[in-house]
Homo-oligomer: A and B are copies of this chain.
Amino acid sequence: MSLQKLKVAFLGPLASFSHQAAAESFAKTSAELHPHVCFADAFAAVQQQEADYAVIPCENSTNGSVVQTLDLLADRSDLYKDVKVCGEYYLTVHHCLLVHKGSYPGGLPSYDGKITKLYTHPQAWGQCDKFLAKYFKGVERQDVSSTSKGAEIVSKEEPGTDERGGAIASRFAAEYHGVDALEENIEDRADNTTRFLILRNILADRTAGLEFEQPNVPNGGDAQLHHEATHKTLVSFSIDHSSPGALANALLIFKAHGLNLTSINTRPSLKRAWQYIFFVECSRTPCAENNDAVLNALNDLRGVTESCRDLGTWKDQLGVSII
Contacts and interface: CB of A to CB of B under 8 A. Distances in A.
A63 interface: yes
A63 B275 contact: no
Interface of A: 59-65, 67, 191, 193, 195, 239, 241-248, 251-252, 254-255, 260-268, 270, 272-276, 318, 320-323
B247 A261 contact: yes
A252 B248 contact: yes
A45 to B, nearest CB: 23
4 smallest A-B Cβ distances: which pairs? A61-B273, A248-B251, A245-B255, A247-B323
Contacts of A239: 323
A255 B266 contact: no
B248 A64 contact: no
Contacts of A272: 321
Q: How many monomers of this chain does the complex have?
A: 2
Contacts of A273: 61, 191, 193, 321
Q: Is the interface of A mostly helix, strand, loop or mixed?
A: mixed
A24 to B, nearest CB: 18
A180 B59 CA distance: 44
Contacts of A61: 268, 273-274
A159 to B, nearest CB: 35
A247 B251 contact: yes
Contacts of A254: 248
A64 B320 CA distance: 26
Contacts of A270: 62
A323 to B, nearest CB: 4
A323 B241 contact: yes
A278 to B, nearest CB: 8
A247 B264 contact: yes
28 contacts: A60-B268, A61-B273, A63-B268, A64-B267, A64-B268, A191-B273, A193-B273, A195-B274, A239-B323, A241-B321, A241-B323, A242-B322, A243-B322, A244-B255, A248-B248, A248-B251, A248-B252, A248-B254, A248-B255, A248-B261, A251-B251, A252-B252, A263-B266, A263-B274, A264-B264, A272-B321, A274-B318, A276-B323
